[in-house]
């Protein structure tokens, strides 16, 4: 009886868990975004932006959203750290690719990096959310301008959910809507990448 009841309790309280990779060139604002997500969805004050240093290892954020647990993996974007991203491709359920909209000079480098990622077989079918970050900065590229640069390789996205959205990780504008979009896509893609139950 106890086993039955505890089994039922476990069944009723278990959460679907998903893993979401946050990648993009260094200085794009990935860690700032993770801190912002934590503050919006968990109601805790995130790290002071001035205290965020370039990421060398991995930052993890566990956030409960819409009855799911989302584990965010924020990796460093420096060139010699990018090869580490691939190790997470087979296990992730979605990818957030952050673009620095104030850095037009590096947009082509950014596109090449994105292309290398989406053409990796290990992420086939995985939903991709691209964020045109730093929209709070006057003169930042608009989301349409960022999209235009990536349009040239859009065909390589294949059959998957993808979207480009404007955000400011620093001020928080657009972040909640972007993550809501992502969570729906994670749930929609369950057949291809099933969640883990804990
Ligand atoms: N104005 C503005 N600055 C931002 C925004 N997001 C991040 N930044 C700034 O951009 C710089 C880099 O932010 P990080 O979050 O460390 O960037 P990262 O992508 O994690 O960098 P790596 O860990 O090196 O890959 C910091 O000075 C942030 O304060 C934003 O939305 N607006
Ligand atoms: Mg970082």
Instruction: Tell me, in angstroms, the distance from the centre of ligand 2 to residue 32's CA.
Output: 7
- pLDDT for res 95: 98
Pocket of ligand 1 (CB under 6 A): 24, 26-32, 49, 52, 54-55, 76-78, 133-134, 136-137, 168-170
- pLDDT for res 198: 80
- Region 169-186: mean pLDDT is 97
* Least confident among 6-10, 82-86, 155-159: 6-10
3 pLDDT exceeds 90?
A: no
For 29-88, write each residue's pLDDT tens digit.
999 999 999 999 998 887 888 899 999 999 999 999 988 999 999 999 999 999 999 999
CA 63 to centroid of chain Cα atoms: 13
Query: What would the 3-class secondary structure string for the chain be?
Result: CHHHHHHHHHHHHCCEEEEEEEECCCCCCHHHHHHHHHHHHHCCCCCCHHHCCCCCCEEEEEEEECCEEEEEEEECCCHHHHHHHHHHCCCCCEEEEEEECCCHHHHHHHHHHHHHHHCCHHHCCCCEEEEEECCCCCCCCCHHHHHHHHHCCHHHHCCCCEEEEECCCCCCCCHHHHHHHHHHHHHHCCCCCCCEEC
Catalytic residues: 78
Nearest CA to ligand 1 atom 32: 134
- pLDDT for res 193: 95
Return the sign of the alpha-carbon dihedral for residues 158, 195, 92, 178.
positive
Instruction: Tell me, in angstroms, the distance from the centre of ligand 1 to residue 106's CA.
Output: 15
- Domain boundaries defined on the chain: 15-197
Q: Which atom of ligand 1 is nearest to the CA of 26?
A: 25
Nearest CA to ligand 1 atom 7: 29
Strand partners, 19: 71
Nearest CA to ligand 1 atom 8: 29
- Give the span between the Cα atoms of 66 and 80, in whole angstroms: 36
Strand partners, 70: 18, 63
5 pLDDT band, cuts 50/70/90, is confident
10 pLDDT exceeds 80?
A: no
For 14-24, write each residue's pLDDT tens digit.
789 999 999 99
Q: Which atom of ligand 1 is nearest to the CA of 76?
A: 25
Say which CATH class 15-197 falls into. Answer: alpha beta
Instruction: Tell me, in angstroms, the distance from the centre of ligand 2 to residue 28's CA.
Output: 8
């Amino acid at each position: 009886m106890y086993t039955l009841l505890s089994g039922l309790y476990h069944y009723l309280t278990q959460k679907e868990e998903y893993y979401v990779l946050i990648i993009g060139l260094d200085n794009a604002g990935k860690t700032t975004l993770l801190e912002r997500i934590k503050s919006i969805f968990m109601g805790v004050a995130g790290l002071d932006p001035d205290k965020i240093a370039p990421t060398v290892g991995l930052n993890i954020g566990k956030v409960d959203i819409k009855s799911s647990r989302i584990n965010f993996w924020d990796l460093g974007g420096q060139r010699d750290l990018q090869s580490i991203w691939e190790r997470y491709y087979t296990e992730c359920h979605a990818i957030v690719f952050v673009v620095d909209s104030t850095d037009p000079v590096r947009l082509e480098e950014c596109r090449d990096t994105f292309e290398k990622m989406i053409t990796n077989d290990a992420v086939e079918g995985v939903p991709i959310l691209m964020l045109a970050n730093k929209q709070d900065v006057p003169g930042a590229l608009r989301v349409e301008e960022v999209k235009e640069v990536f349009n040239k390789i859009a065909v390589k996205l294949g059959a998957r959910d993808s979207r480009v959205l404007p955000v400011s990780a620093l001020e928080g504008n657009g972040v909640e809507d972007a993550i809501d979009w992502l969570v729906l896509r994670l749930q929609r893609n369950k057949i291809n990448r099933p969640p883990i139950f804990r």
